Amino acid sequence: MTVLSPRPDLWTLEPEVLHLNHGSYGAVPRRTQHVMAALRAEAEANPMLWFRSVPDRLTASRLSLASYLETDPAGFALVPNASAGVTAALATLPISAGSRIVLTNHAYGAVLYAAQRFASANQAEVVVVDVPLEADDETVVSLVVAELDQAAVLVVDQISSATAMVFPIAGLVAACRERGVPIVVDGAHAPGLIDAPAADGADFWTGNFHKWPSAPRATAGLVGGEKWRSAARPLIVSWSEHDERLPERFDMQGTYDYAPWIVAPESLRVLDELDWPVRRSQLSAMIDEGARVVAKALGTGVAQVVRPAATMRLVELPSSVDLTAAEYLKARVSRELKAEITLTGFDGRGFIRLSAHAYNSPRDYEELSERLPRVLA
């Protein structure tokens, strides 16, 4: 395995804490924090002047983030998070009585709730497709396609939060297009892990910048296909309601804190200086080995996902661990072991979802393997 040179100096994380769950809330680089603090100070020094300057600053940020995604800036809008993006997409699409909103059993919980809300409001049905953790791309597509009859929309993960599994989006988009079914891609984890994640032509794609690109939290994007751009609306009705352009319509949401959106490109510059494509490849090798080390200590194994996310892995929990106590266990691991992990369940199995970012080193996973067994016992 390539020996990494971790860069904890770029972050303000507590040095004694093993932060092995970047995939949940990310971690904002020190430099981005400083720029954001300066912007907020500027806003407080003269709020009127600040809000007059926001539209131009948002435009510059949007163009930078759209370029990073390699997507058409005319179809790229800023939203607080991927859940908001999915909700805006579902609010745009026609969902008729008796139709189906199709998801998989890997769907993020909040996205499932959104599907249920819109199904209930439109007398539609939510259909959840069971996709095995070990399914290959061809199997995934065939299982989903079998449930697309009378579908108003397919909502599918690009990288599943619960299972760190990469879905075959190009194949699913092609299948949906052939059947005239709109597809919404939940790319919450995709920016930074998949190059040009919105390039497959989904009707809507949404993804978070606060995860792997390490932008401030409440920074995400929504990409709308040309067919839907005139109809898409933000979740808050504000002064830009009648703007004919998709991006600007989503920009000004009243007295929202715009500093995270404006400063997000600074984190992209930090990643660029880290030579992120090379670093990501190294992190992938490191998380492979780290997951094996932790699994060996627990007497379990690493989940055999056909296409795992570049920097996340699932380590199976011992069968004795009660996943209904997951929140208690995570808090105890944080308090007693000074480690931050997340626990996830899928198809009756419990897992630790481990993450790797530029501030991590192989020693982090070795230390977790030394400390964790006694707490899980």
Tens-digit pLDDT profile for residues 210-238: 999 999 999 999 999 999 999 999 999 98
pLDDT band of residue 377 (cuts 50, 70, 90) is confident
What pLDDT score does 368 carry? 97
Q: What is the pLDDT of residue 241?
A: 86
pLDDT for the residue 186: 98
Q: Residue type at 246?
A: L
pLDDT in tens, 13-26: 999 999 999 999 99
State the average pLDDT over residues 115-122: 98
Q: What pLDDT is attached to residue 5?
A: 87
Q: What are phi and psi of 9, to 5 degrees?
A: -65, -20
Amino acid at position 153, single letter: V
Q: How many CA atoms lie within 13 A of 120 on its CB side?
A: 6
pLDDT at position 254: 86
Res. 121: pLDDT tops 70: yes
Q: What is the pLDDT of residue 243?
A: 86
Residue 127: C-alpha distances to residues 101, 102, 340 (Å): 6, 5, 34
**Separation between Cα atoms, residue 160 and residue 351, nearest integer Å:** 14
Residue 354 pLDDT class (50, 70, 90 cuts): very high
Please give the pLDDT value at position 3. Answer: 53
Is 198 a residue whose pLDDT tops 50?
Answer: yes
For tokens 């998070």, what's the residue? 81
- Confirm if 76 and 223 have CB atoms less than 8 A apart: yes
Give the closest residue to 20 by CA, choosing from 308, 341, 296, 375.
341
Please, is 376 exposed, middle or buried when counting C-beta atoms within 10 Å of its C-beta (0-12, 13-18, 19+)?
A: middle
pLDDT interval class at 253 (50, 70, 90)? confident
b/e map of 39-51 (b: 16 or more CB within 10 Å)?
Answer: bbeebeeeeeebe
Whole-number average pLDDT of the chain: 96
Amino acid at 165: M
Which distant-in-sequence residues (6+ apart) come within 8 Å of 229 by Cβ? 74, 75, 246
pLDDT band with cut points at 50, 70 and 90 for residue 376: confident
Alpha-carbon distance of 199 to 5, in angstroms, equals: 32
Burial class (CB within 10 angstroms; exposed 0-12, middle 13-18, buried 19+) of 201: middle
Instruction: Dump pLDDT digits (tens) for 69-108.
Output: 999 999 999 999 999 999 999 999 999 999 999 999 999 9
Q: What 3 state SS string does the chain have? A: CCCCCCCHHHCCCCCCCEECCHHHHCCCCHHHHHHHHHHHHHHHHCHHHHHHHHHHHHHHHHHHHHHHHCCCHHHEEEECCHHHHHHHHHHHCCCCCCCEEEEECCCCHHHHHHHHHHHHHCCCEEEEECCCCCCCHHHHHHHHHCCCCCEEEEEEECECCCCCEECCHHHHHHHHHHHCCCEEEECCCCCCCCCCCCCCCCCEEEEECCCCCCCCCCCEEEEECHHHCCCCCCCCCCCCCCCCCHHHHHHCCCCCCCHHHHHHHHHHHHHHHCCHHHHHHHHHHHHHHHHHHHHHHHCCCECCCCCECCCEEEEECCCCCCHHHHHHHHHHHHHHHCEECEEEEECCEEEEEEECCCCCCHHHHHHHHHHHHHHHC
At residue 1, the pLDDT reads 47
> Would the pLDDT of 4 be above 70?
no
